[in-house]
Amino acid sequence: MIRVCSTEDVPKGTAISADVDGTEIAVVHGEDGNFYAVHDECSHAAVALSEGEVEGCTLECWLHGSRFDLRTGEPTGLPATEPVPVYPVEVRDGDIYVSLTPSNGVTR
User: How crowded is residue 1: how many other Cβ atoms within 10 Å of its Cβ?
Assistant: 13
Residues 6+ apart with CB under 8 A from 11: 29
Q: Which is nearer to ligand FES, 36 or 96 (CB)?
A: 36
Least gap, CB of 102 to ligand FES (angstroms): 19
Tell me whether strands 54-55 and 35-39 are parallel, antiparallel or unpaired: unpaired
**Which one of residues 66, 69, 83, 84 is an interface residue with ligand FES (CB under 6 A)?**
66
58 binds ligand FES (CB under 6 A): no
Answer for the pair 5, 18: CB distance below 8 angstroms, yes or no: yes
Q: Which is nearer to ligand FES, 58 or 66 (CB)?
A: 66
By CB under 6 A, which span of 4-12, 42-50, 81-89, 94-102 interacts with ligand FES? 42-50
DSSP state of 12: T
Which one, of 27, 31, 32, 39, lies nearest residue 3 by Cα? 27
17 binds ligand FES (CB under 6 A): no
44 binds ligand FES (CB under 6 A): yes
**Residues of this chain that bind ligand FES (CB under 6 A):** 42, 44-45, 47, 61, 63-64, 66, 79-80
